[in-house]
Structure 1
Amino acid sequence: MSQIESLFATRLYRAALSEHGTPIDPSELENSCLVIAEDDEAGQEWCEGNGYPGYTSYASLTDLPWRFPIFAELVKVLDAHVAAFAEDLEFDLDGRELKLEDIWINILPEGGIHTSHIHPHSVISGTTYVAMPEGASALKLEDPRSQMMMAAPVRKKDARRELQSFVYVRPRVGDVLLWESWLRHEVPMNMSEDERISVSFNYSWS
């Protein structure tokens, strides 16, 4: 009898931020993100100079957990989520832990997009969602084999989720999503009139 099995799984971790550690107040985190964005002149200048829609602290603030207590609390919670995901991935960490490499704020206005990209030099990347108004973009994940499919036909529109070329994940406020950093992803255009606010991060192994 013939047998078909799935190989080389691509894992996506999704959980409520509150599942591990001290719950983080979403409204306090949102307010902190907005205050930081308003005060971060270097970040504003970088976004304007690089055509980045909205605001990101990625190129300007590298010490959010040191500057703001709520981000220090957030990192403690994220550490627990990342450890759980690393266990699921069955990584042999040789007695060491994955550690936070960087963490940054994203504020995407109406019409803003974040084009397809990966996170080189990291092991696990992820995002926790602070404000997701109606019509805000889902996260779009791309099949990592796409570049090697060459002459393969497109998938049927109703193909099983694990066989789709692109998967859209619509998180809720307070969710955390984690994936391996080589997984290509993007944020399609924000169709909401309100801002989509999230906090992204990378973990490395050293």
Structure 2
Amino acid sequence: MSAQAPNVSLHFATQIYRAALAPAASPLVQELDGACRSLAEDDDAGLDWCEANGYPGYTSYASLDDLPWRFPVFGQLVEQLDRHVASFAGTLDFDLKGGKLECDSLWVNVLPTGGMHSSHLHPHSVISGTFYVALPEGSAAIRFEDPRLAFMMAAPTRRNPANRPFVKVTPEPGEVLLWESWLRHEVPMNEADDERISISFNYAWK
């Protein structure tokens, strides 16, 4: 890894926040696991949307917007997320001008073997993230794309992985990742023999 030259200043850094919320075997993670699997079986509207849109596995994104009301454990999760989002917002040096960041959407993702989520971003939000519930061996990592990628032209490969145009992060169950909502990301093919379960969310400036 090369050292930064003394006459070079760093600008436009892209930050990704990672923290452990609870051990994988904790009651919080186990209860969320059960709730996610139950939704994947019983949410007919969500399952119909997934089938109609060619979405692999299950997501509640287009069918349910009241998970903290339906399952109190999702409300408990949001309470913990609020603290981490506030910490990340401080690191990003946001001037919220007396306002605050609030969770305005939260949804379940159950990705089967062979499933993937194509590259996308989250418009109309400030901070987005994912809490990881179940990641069996072989589960896909999440891959982030440098927002400057389209402008890199014929740039050579960079030695330092932190400076490369794509960064893979392999989380653990019970961990949360946060990033600014404009950061494009994807989930490559899930090669695990079981389902990869996560809960994604957006925070807006209120």
| TM-score (ref. length: structure 2) | 0.93
SS in 2 for 1:30: helix
SS in 2 for 1:25: helix
SS in 2 for 1:60: coil
Q: Percent identity?
A: 58
Contact 1:155 1:163 (C-alpha < 8 Å) held by counterparts: no
Q: Which of 143, 152, 155 is the matching residue for 1:153?
A: 155
Q: Which of 38, 42, 47 is the matching residue for 1:44?
A: 47
The 1-side partners of 2:78 and 2:155 are apart by 43
- The residue aligned with 2:97 is 94
Contact 1:117 1:186 (C-alpha < 8 Å) held by counterparts: yes
For 2:98, the aligned partner's letter is G
- Are residues 1:119 and 2:122 paired? yes
Q: 1:18, CA displacement in angstroms?
A: 3.6
- The residue aligned with 1:63 is 66
Q: Residues 107, 56 of structure 1: CA spacing in aligned structure 2 closer, same or farther, 3 A cutoff?
A: same
Q: Which runs of 5+ in 1 are unaligned?
A: none
Q: Deviations over 1:145-189 (max 9, x none)?
A: 01122x222414xx2132111000000000000000000000000
SS in 1 for 2:75: helix
The 2-side partners of 1:124 and 1:81 are apart by 11
Dislocated runs of 4+, deviation >6 Å: none
- The residue aligned with 2:202 is 202
| TM-score (ref. length: structure 1) | 0.93
Contact 1:24 1:74 (C-alpha < 8 Å) held by counterparts: no
The 2-side partners of 1:2 and 1:110 are apart by 48
The 2-side partners of 1:38 and 1:3 are apart by 58
Q: Which runs of 5+ in 2 are unaligned?
A: none
Q: Residues 63, 112 of structure 1: CA spacing in aligned structure 2 closer, same or farther, 3 A cutoff?
A: same
- Are residues 1:73 and 2:76 paired? yes
The RMSD of aligned alpha carbons is 1.5
- The residue aligned with 2:189 is 189
Contact 1:106 1:197 (C-alpha < 8 Å) held by counterparts: yes
The 2-side partners of 1:2 and 1:188 are apart by 38
Aligned residue pair count: 200
